[in-house]
Structure 1
Amino acid sequence: MALPILKFLVATAFLLALLILVARVLFPVPVFKQRLATIALPPAQTGALADALDQHGKNHAGLTGIAPLQNGADAFAARFMLADAAVSSLDVQYYIWRADMTGYLLLDALRRAADRGVRVRLLLDDNGISGLDPALSALDAHRNAEVRIYNPFNLRRFKRVSFGFDFFRLNRRMHNKAFTVDGRVSILGGRNIGDEYFGTGTNPLQVDLDVLAVGAIVPQISADFDRYWAAKSVHPARQILGKPGRTDPIPHPITLGLSRFDTDPQRSEYQTLLQSSNIIAALAAGTLDLEWTKAILVSDDPIKGEGAVPREDLLATRLLQAVGEIKTRFDGITPYFVPGAAGVKAFATLQSRGVTVRMLTNSLEATDVVPVHAGYSKRREAMLRAGVTLFELRRQAVGQIKPDVFGPFGSSGSNLHAKTFAVDGTRIFVGSFNFDPRSTTLNTEMGLLIESERMALAMHSAFDQGLNGLAWRVEIRGRNPVWIDTASGTETRDEPGASPIKRLALIIVGWLPVEWLL
């Protein structure tokens, strides 16, 4: 009996290997034939941004001005208004760009900038641009714009099928987010481009964090963009998406996509928001609440998308070096928290040295990726027993979260997407990096380590106050965890959001050797 089963398994494995080989031959890795070499333009010397920032630069030479973008509406307005103010260049890099209202509004802003003669360079990961091929192809055809695609899929239709025969390449993605205007202003942090990241739409809204940066750090962000723009994993859009169809006399694909939202009440609300936004005027008047300080850009080498890189070259390693010794407090916020055995050991070591470690992540009821929660829950008890304080964000009703509830940031939302941590009341990291193996070894990431007592102490204070009742505090009672409502003090031993199917999924994923993928 065992022999026929063994023969069947061997035959099945051989057939799968043959199918993968045939698929790799029929649908090979995209290879670009030629690519125009371009680099960031020098900072603009004219225009609204140059006029607004020249005096600031003289008064704060060598420093970086930082302003947290405290909610999704502000984060959207900042991008939109800065794009409209651009006179020379827009260098834009994102992991996800949705084909929704905010996605098309910002694409239209890029196109209008190109129409004004602004050079637009748009770099997108191919995993997050579903439904946008025609619009991106049309933008790429503009004489003043170029679109490039990071690590493109072998297939355009049924893209996810490509994972079946080219998994190990396609499993590496560009998770970076940056929006740089005229070489003068950059926005970077955790937000992608899509309705849920800006506080609108039908998808669960994200609690997220961006910062607006001016001054000394901006040329470094531009140079980092150039590094990715020229990377081997980055391909010209025309060679991936094909040439655009005719756009005249039929509507331009971006115009057509945007027209789907002409009657959407939320578009009218956004128009009102944009008319009332004063970010450019605030920069010019010096009334924008900029904190002038020191900041360090930490970014993965784009070669990470081609395969494993030495540990000393990883963002995680260099970020730890930049942070330096942690003396008293470490408060972290991440939507996807998979510390692994090494992470648990590192947190336990900090606790043993007298450092208070507190982490906020999504609860099971709030998470949008149940397998990742399995990777977290597998290590949860060990972290609690090591003395780490754990909070899990409760699933919130839209509008329930106040703007300042998490200290330096806040947004109406139903699940967590921000990636940040504060250290010793003196410095804070804001970026795209999650505390998980995927961010550490598979995806490229970036972020800013900022010297800011104001932002760091605000985050510490939010944890001190129990996150204003918006998160469960998890503790160990005997052998099992309990979830404590920090507002009422009531406890439950049933994991919030758990169902029989989810419990089974957590158990199965916890058994499987997939932690490195999470």
Structure 2
Amino acid sequence: MSRRGARRLARIGRTLVSRRRASRLAFTAGNTLRLYSRGADYFNALIAYIDAARASVALETYIFCDDEAGRPVSDALVRAAQRGVRVRVITDGLGTGRLALFDEWIAAGVEHRIYNAGWRGIFGRFGLSRTHRKLALVDERVAFCGGINVVDDFAATGGRLAHPRWDFAVELAGPIVAHVSAALDAQWRRLTLGHRPYRESMSRALVPFARAVSTAAGGRLRARTRGTERALKGPSVAFVARDNFVNRRAIEKAYLVAIGRARCEILLANPYFMPGRKLRRALLRAARRGVDVRVLIGRNEFAALDVAVPYLYRTFLKAGVHIAEYEKTMLHGKVAVVDSNWATVGSSNLDALSLVLNNEANVVLIEHPEIAELREAMLTAFDEARPIDATCYAARTWPERLANWLAYATYRAVMKLLTVGGYD
């Protein structure tokens, strides 16, 4: 990039930072971050922190496997519980299922809750929703958030991957940890108060979350007084937790604000790219006003999506959006970078289940140096991916076009049914 281009990008980034308050996120300053791009590195760090824990450990994950990655994490949890540390683990009734590890946890004193452990792990007290979040917290001083499940990097349905999964997680220390802690506590209370009516349980669970967000120790939260807000200066982080009670559109809104203010570049990477109309329109408007919009899409995990997602390509390609399909390995990362100054890392896919139904958690970064590292990883993945050529796409056969339309129409109908009309 030329010096003039770099200066322009920096100027655009400062504009985005100066307007961050409109996103209504609770940003904090004074945090330290570390970006992980491989599960193996993330698990090593997590285990080290668990082994050093003195008071508490909390973990929430969609998938916990008894494999080469999950067993060492499980052993660390058991060791911590046996030496008197309070250990809490939340797994999903569908994503994880029943493991022999659970009995070992109970015997060692690990407290375990299953989210929506209903009929075959599909339909429970919280309807069809899942906890898709990947969160960890140790001693209320360090937290992790991202898209990495507790599963071996090379594991895949039907065999082993040739390369490790493409995924990310962020280690957090500082005032933002209080927000992650509050979200984990709220989720734990929801699952612990199972005998109470759903709405009453949720209301009680959200009390400590609201309190923690407003009084996070040491954090310089934005001051709000009758609609006026004091914006933070310098690097800052916000934690965004999506649920079905008070934060139904929180993550989607964070994306919409960033995309709406983009002036130079938008990089998106997501394994399940099926956004609703608002996100699609925001990306199209950005491309039409001259923003370099690039979308990296995962393939070869769910055949139905592989057929349905290409239906969206026509409109995006016509607007000038660059699309590439990543097939080197399993693309599981849910990340974005806007104008090299705003980024998000988390568990939320850009599809109906993540944006409307499931419990998700992302972090939003502004002006942190880790954004450059994430951007570089995304650009490298784009170079390794297969670009979608507009001419070749337009030359698809009629049977292929019909299959794309049928798959997409079926997806929309099913998602509207599952989300009770929430998916647009």
Name the TM-score, length of structure 2 as normaliser.
0.73
Paired position in structure 2 for 1:298: 240
Q: Which amino acid aligns with 1:473?
A: P
- Whether the aligned pair in 1 keeps the contact of 2:256 and 2:282 (CA below 8 Å) is no
Does 1:136 pair with 2:102? yes
Larger RCO, structures 1/2 (Cα 8 Å, 6+ apart): 2
Distance 2:393 2:153 in 1: 38
| C-alpha displacement of 1:456 | 3.2
Paired position in structure 2 for 1:510: 408
Paired position in structure 1 for 2:183: 224
Distance 2:403 2:72 in 1: 38
Paired position in structure 1 for 2:271: 335
**1:425 match: secondary structure:** coil
- Whether the aligned pair in 2 keeps the contact of 1:188 and 1:210 (CA below 8 Å) is yes
| C-alpha displacement of 1:93 | 0.6
Paired position in structure 1 for 2:305: 372
Paired position in structure 2 for 1:350: 286
Q: Which amino acid aligns with 2:148?
A: R
Does 1:361 pair with 2:297? yes
Shift in alpha-carbon separation, 1:94–1:329, aligned structure 2, 3 A:
same
Does 1:195 pair with 2:157? no
**1:390 match: secondary structure:** strand
| C-alpha displacement of 1:181 | 0.9
- Whether the aligned pair in 2 keeps the contact of 1:62 and 1:216 (CA below 8 Å) is yes
Paired position in structure 1 for 2:321: 388
Distance 1:336 1:117 in 2: 41
- Whether the aligned pair in 2 keeps the contact of 1:189 and 1:430 (CA below 8 Å) is yes
Distance 2:312 2:235 in 1: 37
Distance 2:193 2:66 in 1: 21
Shift in alpha-carbon separation, 1:356–1:213, aligned structure 2, 3 A:
same
Paired position in structure 1 for 2:394: 480
| C-alpha displacement of 1:109 | 0.8
Match of 1:121 among 84, 88, 111: 88
Does 1:317 pair with 2:259? no
Q: Deviations over 1:451-481 (max 9, x none)?
A: 235333444455666733x201112117616
- Whether the aligned pair in 2 keeps the contact of 1:66 and 1:293 (CA below 8 Å) is no
| C-alpha displacement of 1:327 | 2.2
Paired position in structure 2 for 1:431: 346
Paired position in structure 2 for 1:451: 366
Paired position in structure 2 for 1:68: 35
1:59-98 aligned within 5 A: 62-98=29-65
Q: Which runs of 5+ in 2 are unaligned?
A: 1-27, 196-233
Distance 1:212 1:427 in 2: 17
- Whether the aligned pair in 2 keeps the contact of 1:76 and 1:198 (CA below 8 Å) is no
| C-alpha displacement of 1:184 | 1.2
Match of 2:115 among 139, 142, 150: 150
Distance 2:401 2:63 in 1: 30
| C-alpha displacement of 1:314 | 3.7
| C-alpha displacement of 1:388 | 0.9
Paired position in structure 1 for 2:211: none
Q: Which amino acid aligns with 2:166?
A: V
Q: Deviations over 1:12-58 (max 9, x none)?
A: xxxxxxxxxxxxxxxxxxxxxxxxxxxxxxxxxxxxxxxxxxxxxxx
Distance 1:434 1:169 in 2: 20
Paired position in structure 1 for 2:141: 184
**1:207 match: secondary structure:** coil
Q: Which amino acid aligns with 1:185?
A: V
Distance 1:227 1:65 in 2: 24
| Aligned-residue CA RMSD (Å) | 3.2
- Whether the aligned pair in 2 keeps the contact of 1:391 and 1:471 (CA below 8 Å) is yes
- Whether the aligned pair in 2 keeps the contact of 1:370 and 1:506 (CA below 8 Å) is no
Match of 2:66 among 95, 99, 124: 99
Q: Deviations over 1:225-282 (max 9, x none)?
A: 111111158759xxxxxxxxxxxxxxxxxxxxxxxxxxxxxxxxxxxxxxxxxxxxxx
- Whether the aligned pair in 1 keeps the contact of 2:242 and 2:361 (CA below 8 Å) is yes
| C-alpha displacement of 1:167 | 8.7
| C-alpha displacement of 1:293 | 3.3
Name the TM-score, length of structure 1 as normaliser.
0.60
